[in-house]
């Protein structure tokens, strides 16, 4: 579903991603872990088509980035730590706007379904400005699934949420995964992501330094796996690409 | 929680429909909050007030400076609207939301530009009668309206492009007038002269060169902004 | 640090020699202008600087377009170099113009099309530099810079045109055919030689300075790379 080969991203003289390889099969739920500044957000921005790779190949659903960005965008649903919603529009209006941007047919029925799914049907006519952080994030997920994307990308979706909101978000995430969607998610919260993802990849020094499925690691050993993969690969911190 | 139902088959959204979607979104958000329009309007009235004292708008000189005062007011109030309109996209990451959609980037440009134009025209439609009443000048003149429309089109065409750039810099709001004003001087000169021409009921041959200049500017800058907008939003 | 290329060294020397000769021509070869006297001699360098300023402006716009088309940062270095160099040349042109204008028009400054356009061009450049200063990411800085230079390149001639429509008193010395503007004078052959030589001299000097500035830009990039290596 997602194929990344020898991806390099440079900001002027600064090299953030150094020949990163990454594959995700259809239906996998991959958690992308890594310390701050490892390049997680940069990598995700490239996958979302918002940033161009300096070198290397990125293919999503068989379409290449950045050449076929428009085809990729139609198949992507993105949730970042910012909700990407307009505060002065109601929940319904926000969804209607994005549905029109994605050319979703049968729009009213679809909006209805999505609002139902994220549990905001009763607040549909309220301004998003009045929503709590958790509600905004749920609506953001609703926005991201409007056009029924094949691949979903989440960048730290739990940031700034309280326990209840996190739990509700997890429900929605499981729901998304259960529909056979391919999901890539970055997170700091190892405890939270532990029972969501089916595979864990560690990004450090601009490369994927370790990758393991949930079965391989076993329960409760995620933290140990994460720490080991960062400590064991000092080579990744060198400058050479 | 219900499972996510599949969406209906999608069609590729057209340039026109996505442009209108963005315009509709900006207008309905503004209709609700009225933050941008009220700020622009109050600012415009304050500028006129300041001119009133700075120039001592006596009936004798009023005639000559009216079109200049009007255009200075529109230009200053305009930057406020341009800044605000882009800041709402940038602050909550909505610009990324627009860019994530499978739409032509020009739809984003035209949608935002049309919204900005609408805000400019609303302000102008309020300022003109107010100015007429305050200074007892008749400003209801079809020629003047046309010049105001043409001037605003060029101003907004460049302004929307530049505000998209300035909002992505460290200095943000401060930068827009500095970037914008040196580039819109041809519009301001031509619009001031043409407006004055229409207000004085000058013959068409005196107004024509200014009219043509405005027209050429509008065509060139709408076209060039359309061509380079990709570079301003795509990373 | 890479040493200067021989061609650049040659240009350095050539510029110095040419400027010395041009100065000599201005003071000893060109005849004294009948009406304005010695002050008219500033005219040769004034025109040369204004010409070079325009040349730099065009180089910047071309480099901007090339950057947008290729995405190669070397064009960005050329663009900034051209803007910075041309900013200084234009400033000299404005100052020398003022020195000439004082006796000719009896004012340091007039709102004539060329003066005003020159001033606005300086403002466009200043805005350009401020725009760049506000952006961290080198690629975004280059893209925005190129777009802005391009917009300036299209708008400044229209500014010139619009002010010219208002009215001009600046003398049109070359090919102007006696427009009757104040301060107008006819050029003798010796004056023309001096003018052409000055324009040539400062064109060479422009290439020399531009080259130095591009080299400096490249070195700055290298320093930045090395600095990042050390920080890591």
> Above 80 in pLDDT, residue C104?
no
User: Would you say residue A222 has pLDDT above 80?
Assistant: no
Yes or no, beta carbons of C137 and A12 under 8 Å apart: yes
Mean pLDDT rounded to a whole number for chain C: 84
The pLDDT score that the predictor gives to residue A240 is 41
Q: Is C106 left (phi over 0), alpha (psi -120 to 50) or beta?
A: left
**CA–CA–CA angle A170, A208, C228 (5° rounding):** 115
Question: What pLDDT, on a 0 to 100 scale, did the predictor assign at position B123?
Answer: 96
Look at residue C167 in the predicted model and tell me its pLDDT.
Answer: 63
User: What pLDDT is stored for residue C232 in this prediction?
Assistant: 56
pLDDT confidence bin for A235, thresholds 50/70/90: very low
Which residues from chain B sit within 8 angstroms of residue A83, using beta carbons?
Answer: 92-93
Q: Is the pLDDT of residue A141 over 60?
A: yes
Chain C: residue nearest B184 by CA?
C155
Would the CB atoms of A88 and B29 count as touching at under 8 Å? yes
pLDDT of residue C149: 96
CA distance B36 to B33: 8
Extents of the domains making up chain A: 1-75+149-159+182-241
Q: What integer is the mean pLDDT of C146-163?
A: 91
State the pLDDT confidence band at C183, using cuts at 50, 70 and 90. Answer: low
Within a domain: C8: no
> What digits encode the pLDDT tens for the residues B162-179?
999 999 999 888 899 999
Please tell me which residue of chain B has the smallest CA distance to A70: B102
Q: Average pLDDT for residues A46-61, to the nearest whole number?
A: 90
What is the rounded CA–CA span in Å between residue B68 and residue B56?
14
Structure tokens at B127: 């300022």
Residues on chain B touching A16 (C-beta within 8 angstroms): none
pLDDT at A173: 80
Using only C-alpha atoms, chain A has a radius of gyration, in whole angstroms, of 18
Give residue C124's domain range.
Answer: 13-27+37-170+186-231
Task: Measure CB to CB from residue B25 to each of A82, A86, A105 and give the nearest one.
Answer: A86
How does pLDDT run across B216-230, given as a tens digit for each residue? 999 999 999 999 999
Chain A positions in Cβ-Cβ contact with residue C229 (cut-off 8 Å): 239
Across the interface, do B11 and A147 touch by the CB < 8 Å criterion?
Answer: no
What pLDDT, in 10s, does the model give residues B26-36?
999 999 989 99
Q: Are the beta carbons of B186 and C155 separated by less than 8 Å?
A: yes
Check CB contact under 8 Å for C224 and A13. yes
Long-range contacts of residues B87-95, Cβ cutoff 8 Å, at least 24 apart: B87/B167, B87/B172, B87/B173, B88/A86, B88/A88, B88/B29, B89/B167, B90/B167, B90/B168, B92/A82, B92/A83, B92/A84, B92/A85, B92/A86, B92/A87, B93/A80, B93/A82, B93/A83, B93/A84, B94/A84, B94/A85, B94/A86, B95/B167, B95/B233
Percentage, residues of chain B above pLDDT 70? 95
Q: Is residue C75 part of a domain?
A: yes
- A partners (3+ CB pairs within 8 A) are B, C
Q: CA–CA separation, B25 vs A140, rounded Å? A: 17
Q: Lowest-pLDDT range, A49-58, A173-182, B33-42? A: A173-182
| C156 touches C120 (CB < 8 A) | yes
Cβ of A239 within 8 Å of Cβ of C225? The answer is no
Q: For residue C34, what pLDDT band results from cuts at 50, 70 and 90?
A: low
| Contacting B residues, span 172-201, partner chain C, CB-CB under 8 Å | 172, 175, 178-179, 181-186, 189-190, 193
pLDDT value, residue C1: 58
Provide the 3-class DSSP secondary structure of residue C79.
helix
Q: How confident is the model at residue C32 (pLDDT cuts 50, 70, 90)?
A: confident
Q: Which pLDDT band, with edges at 50, 70 and 90, does C174 fall under?
A: low
Chain C residue closest in CA terms to B154: C155
CB contact under 8 A, B93 and A83: yes
Domains identified in chain C, total number: 1
Select the more confidently predicted residue: A113 or C101: A113
Residue B188 has pLDDT above 80, yes or no: yes
pLDDT at position B2 over 80:
no
User: DSSP labels for A96-155?
Assistant: HHHHHHTT-SSHHHHHHHHHHHTT-GGGTTSBGGGS-HHHHHHHHHHHHHTT--SEEEEE
Which chain B residues contact residue C124 at CB under 8 A? 182-183
> What residue in C sits closest to B210 (Cα-Cα)?
C162
Name the architecture of domain A1-75+149-159+182-241.
Answer: 3-Layer(aba) Sandwich (3.40)
Backbone phi and psi for residue A55, each to the nearest 5 degrees, phi listed first: -145, 160
* Contact criterion met (CB below 8 Å) for A5 and A46: no
C165, part of any domain: yes
B10: helix, strand or coil? coil
High-pLDDT (> 90) share of chain B, %: 68
- Distance CA(B190)–CA(A202), nearest Å, equals 60
Which of B183, B228, B16, B214 is CA-nearest to residue B114? B16
Q: What is the mean pLDDT of residues B122-132?
A: 94
- Site from A85, A91, A93, A103 to mutate, B interface, most B CB atoms within 10 angstroms: A103
Q: Which residues of B touch A120 (CB under 8 A)?
A: none
Say which residue, C182 or A231, is predicted with more confidence.
Answer: A231
Choose among A165, A164, A140: nearest CA to A82.
Answer: A140
The mean-pLDDT minimum among A206-215, B109-118, C84-93 falls in A206-215
**ipTM summary value:** 0.90
In a domain, C7, yes or no: no
Contact B228 C135 (CB under 8 A): no
Q: Which residues 6+ apart lie within 8 Å of C192 measured at CB? A: none
Across A94-103, B9-18, C70-79, C177-186, least confident range? C177-186
User: What pLDDT, on the 0 to 100 scale, is given for residue A232?
Assistant: 53
The pLDDT tens digits of the residues spanning B55-68 come to 877 777 777 788 99
- Cβ contacts below 8 Å, chain A against chain B, sum to 121
The average pLDDT across B33-60 equals: 89
**Cβ(A114)–Cβ(A145) under 8 Å?**
yes
Residue C60 C-alpha, separation from nearest chain A C-alpha, in angstroms: 20
Burial class (CB in 10 A: 0-12, 13-18, 19+), C7: exposed
Q: What is the mean pLDDT of chain B?
A: 89
Domain assignment of residue C20, yes or no: yes
User: In the prediction, which pLDDT does C179 show?
Assistant: 44
Q: How far is CA A5 from CA A62, A70, A151, B231, C32, in A?
A: 14, 20, 18, 26, 73
- CA of B159: which chain C residue's CA is closest? C151
Convert B38-48 to b/e letters by CB count within 10 Å (16 or more is b): eebbebbbebb
Q: In terms of pLDDT, which residue wins out, C192 or A195?
A: C192
Region label for B175, one of left (φ > 0), alpha (ψ between -120 and 50) or beta (otherwise) = alpha
Q: Is pLDDT at B72 greater than 50 in this prediction?
A: yes
Q: How confident is the model at residue C231 (pLDDT cuts 50, 70, 90)?
A: low
Q: Is the pLDDT of residue B5 over 50?
A: no
């Amino acid at each position: 579903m997602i194929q990344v080969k020898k991806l390099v991203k440079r900001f002027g003289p600064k090299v953030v991603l150094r020949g990163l390889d990454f594959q995700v099969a259809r239906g996998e739920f991959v958690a992308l872990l890594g310390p701050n500044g490892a390049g997680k957000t940069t990598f995700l921005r490239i996958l979302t088509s918002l940033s161009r790779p300096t070198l290397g190949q990125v293919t999503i659903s068989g379409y290449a980035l950045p050449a076929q960005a428009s085809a990729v965008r139609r198949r992507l649903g993105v949730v970042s730590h910012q909700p990407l919603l307009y505060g002065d529009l109601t929940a319904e209006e926000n969804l209607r706007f994005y549905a029109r941007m994605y050319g979703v047919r049968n729009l009213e029925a679809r909006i209805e379904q999505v609002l139902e799914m994220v549990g905001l049907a009763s607040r549909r006519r309220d301004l998003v400005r009045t929503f709590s952080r958790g509600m905004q994030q749920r609506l953001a997920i609703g926005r991201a699934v409007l056009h029924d994307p094949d691949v979903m990308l989440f960048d730290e979706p739990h940031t700034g949420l309280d326990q209840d909101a996190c739990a509700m978000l997890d429900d929605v995430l499981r729901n998304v995964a259960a529909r056979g969607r391919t999901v890539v998610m970055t997170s700091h919260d190892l405890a939270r992501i532990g029972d969501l993802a089916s595979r864990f990849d560690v990004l450090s020094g601009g490369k994927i330094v370790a990758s393991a499925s949930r079965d391989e690691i076993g329960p409760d050993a995620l933290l140990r796996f994460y720490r080991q993969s960062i400590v064991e690969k000092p080579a990744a911190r060198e400058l050479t690409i | 929680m219900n499972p996510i139902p599949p969406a209906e088959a999608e069609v590729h959204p057209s340039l026109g429909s996505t442009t209108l979607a963005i315009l509709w979104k900006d207008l309905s958000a503004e209709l609700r909050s009225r933050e941008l329009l009220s700020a622009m309007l109050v600012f415009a009235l304050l500028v006129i007030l300041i001119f009133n004292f700075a120039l001592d708008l006596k009936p004798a000189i009023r005639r000559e400076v009216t079109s200049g005062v009007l255009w200075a007011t529109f230009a200053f109030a305009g930057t406020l609207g341009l800044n605000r309109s882009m800041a709402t996209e940038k602050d909550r990451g909505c610009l990324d939301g627009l860019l994530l959609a499978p739409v032509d980037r020009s739809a984003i440009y035209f949608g935002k530009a049309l919204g900005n134009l609408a805000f400019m025209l609303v302000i102008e439609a309020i300022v003109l009668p107010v100015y007429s009443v305050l200074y007892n000048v008749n400003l209801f003149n079809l020629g003047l309206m046309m010049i105001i429309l043409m001037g605003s089109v060029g101003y907004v065409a460049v302004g929307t492009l530049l505000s998209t750039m300035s909002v992505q810099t460290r200095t943000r709001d401060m930068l827009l007038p500095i970037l914008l004003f040196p580039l819109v001087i041809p519009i301001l000169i031509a619009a001031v002269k043409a407006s004055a021409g229409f207000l004085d009921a000058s013959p068409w041959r005196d107004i024509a060169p200014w009219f043509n200049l405005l027209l050429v500017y509008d065509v060139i800058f709408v076209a060039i902004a359309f061509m380079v907008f990709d570079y301003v939003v795509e990373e | 640090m890479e040493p200067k290329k021989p061609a650049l060294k040659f240009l350095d020397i050539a510029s110095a020699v040419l400027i010395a000769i041009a100065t000599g021509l201005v003071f000893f070869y060109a005849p004294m202008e009948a009406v304005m006297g010695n002050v008219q001699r500033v005219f040769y360098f004034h025109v040369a600087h204004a010409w070079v300023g325009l040349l730099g402006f065009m180089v910047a716009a071309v480099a901007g377009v090339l950057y947008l088309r290729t995405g190669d940062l070397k064009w960005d270095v050329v663009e900034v170099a051209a803007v910075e160099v041309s900013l200084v040349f234009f400033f000299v042109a404005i100052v020398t113009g003022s020195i000439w204008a004082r006796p000719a028009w009896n004012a340091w400054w007039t709102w004539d099309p060329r003066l005003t356009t020159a001033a606005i061009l300086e403002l466009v450049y200043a805005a350009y530099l401020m725009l760049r200063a506000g952006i961290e990411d080198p690629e975004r800085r280059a893209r925005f810079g190129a777009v802005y230079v391009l917009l300036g390149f299209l708008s400044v001639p229209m500014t010139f045109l619009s002010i010219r429509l208002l009215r001009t008193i600046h003398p049109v010395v070359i090919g102007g055919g006696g427009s009757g503007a104040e301060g107008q004078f006819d050029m003798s052959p010796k004056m023309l030689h001096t003018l052409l030589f000055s324009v040539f001299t400062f064109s060479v000097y422009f290439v020399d300075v531009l080259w130095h500035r591009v080299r400096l830009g490249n070195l700055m990039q290298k320093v930045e790379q090395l600095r990042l290596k050390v920080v890591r």
